[in-house]
Structure 1
């Protein structure tokens, strides 16, 4: 890929963005990884740039698009109306010469939904080369600073409104590899990829796996959607976004995420990582 085909990775320090950027750089593609608080790229890697990008500061938008041919697009977190940010940026990207766009979306959002769902059609209308990634819920939600990880470390529990609903949790590494392929494969994918792990698990199943790895009992505590909304809002999360997440939990309880997909193996040639393998590799995440 030439310099004029530089790949712009928004959300360049996030769960998938930093992984996509690293995969592209390792394969020799020129990359510009941007975020509100950019970090340094891998040492000694030619063609890797970082830069500042803020959805709320449109002055940062045009500079990051200079010389870009392909775009990995991560929506703004907790935005009440992501389409209001993304669609004008897509128009700017097309005018700047971007040819291929890969959008990070969600398995919980359909094209017929408002907000981010509106962006699916906007990408197809504007670009001949595109892909939409619709990953299930991340395995990384149980590590780092995520509330689930904190709940395990502090209280030996995972709290959700998902009841006994099941989810095929997926490793962010697998999502990133599908994204990197969608950005760089010779032929554009021109499809939406539903991306899941190999097996659907309830939160009680997840708690059981973590219990074995952590060496102490961890449980799932099921609460109502209203309780979950209030719990999330009490952390400072915008109420509208808290309502959205609590509603997603209720959809999980009703079976909305009880499915698996062959996308990871179809695109990458290998099976997706299991939660058991992920947990074994991240045992330190649950140490007190």
Structure 2
């Protein structure tokens, strides 16, 4: 790996951004940690960054040659704000960009798929991370985790569909490689955990490891869409419910070796994550 250059991590206080920042700084890389309120991040230079406030962009990009891109949350058309920023970043001297997308969204697909499609035309050095669904959705601040804590319930329209849930720490480890290796991947990388699980399996594992009863309530597409509309814009809720429906049809029932191939270690299992959190009192 090269240790030269400065990386702007956008969303540096979020699920993957915080972990990517921590792993970069631990390895001795210079990092500007971008967040709306420029919150302090250990080992990094905090900087204000808001996708919807272009006045924050110049200072965030100053002295930066690579960038980790976390799209604005809940925006059905993030290309509207992301592409002008990326053109500005290129003009400011950024030569490598790593975009966080999703295994469910191909290049040219909805939402961040348009940014994925445009990225190779903007930067010679690039990668798109397409992780499966996060394990941390069941342990952090996600609606699933909140529902588990409050009600002991997970609600989805995934039926018996299986997903190779991936640990956000593994996503960050791949991001660090994509940002700092001498040669950028120049492709999209589908990231998964080591096994596929249904949401019934997730509920059973949480119950077994934590001792707290958790059940999976299977909803229809329409029920899930309406449930999500209470929390996010209707168009985005319909897209998310549609992703659940695709899972029910087998869209996420696959395992890749990307984490092991790029990091040299196996991807963590969901049970191992829960047991680690239990040991550390989380």
Measured against the shorter chain, the TM-score band is: over 0.9
Residue 239 of structure 1 deviates from its aligned partner by 1.1
- Cα contact 1:143–1:286 (8 A) shared by 2: no
- Cα contact 1:12–1:38 (8 A) shared by 2: no
Aligned CA distance change for structure 1 residues 28 and 195 (closer, same or farther; 3 Å): same
Please state if 1:40 is matched with 2:40: yes
Residue 286 of structure 1 deviates from its aligned partner by 11
Corresponding position of 1:65: 61
CA distance in 1, matches of 2:227, 2:73: 18
CA distance in 2, matches of 1:111, 1:63: 30
Residue 232 of structure 1 deviates from its aligned partner by 1.4
- In structure 2, runs of 5+ residues without a counterpart are none
Query: Pairwise mapping of residues 80-159 of structure 1 onto structure 2 (< 5 A)?
Result: 80-159=76-155
Aligned CA distance change for structure 1 residues 227 and 86 (closer, same or farther; 3 Å): same
1:277 is aligned, of 269, 272, 279, to: 272
CA distance in 2, matches of 1:55, 1:244: 21
Corresponding position of 2:254: 259
TM normalised by structure 1 equals: 0.93
- Cα contact 1:6–1:68 (8 A) shared by 2: yes
| Matched residue SS, 2:87 | helix
Corresponding position of 2:172: 176
TM normalised by structure 2 equals: 0.95
| Matched residue SS, 1:60 | helix
1:245 is aligned, of 240, 243, 248, to: 240
Count of aligned residue pairs for this structure pair: 281
| Matched residue SS, 1:68 | coil
Residue 60 of structure 1 deviates from its aligned partner by 0.6
- Cα contact 1:144–1:285 (8 A) shared by 2: no
| Matched residue SS, 1:87 | helix
Deviations 1:167-219 (A, max 9, x none): 00000000000000100001111111100000010000011101101214321
| Matched residue SS, 1:62 | helix
Please state if 1:21 is matched with 2:21: yes
- Cα contact 1:152–1:286 (8 A) shared by 2: no
- In structure 1, runs of 5+ residues without a counterpart are none
Residue 144 of structure 1 deviates from its aligned partner by 2.5
Corresponding position of 2:70: 74
CA distance in 2, matches of 1:35, 1:53: 5
Please state if 1:231 is matched with 2:227: yes
Provide runs of 4+ in structure 1 moved above 3 Å: 283-287
The range that moved more, 76-85 or 226-235, is 226-235
- Cα contact 2:6–2:63 (8 A) shared by 1: yes
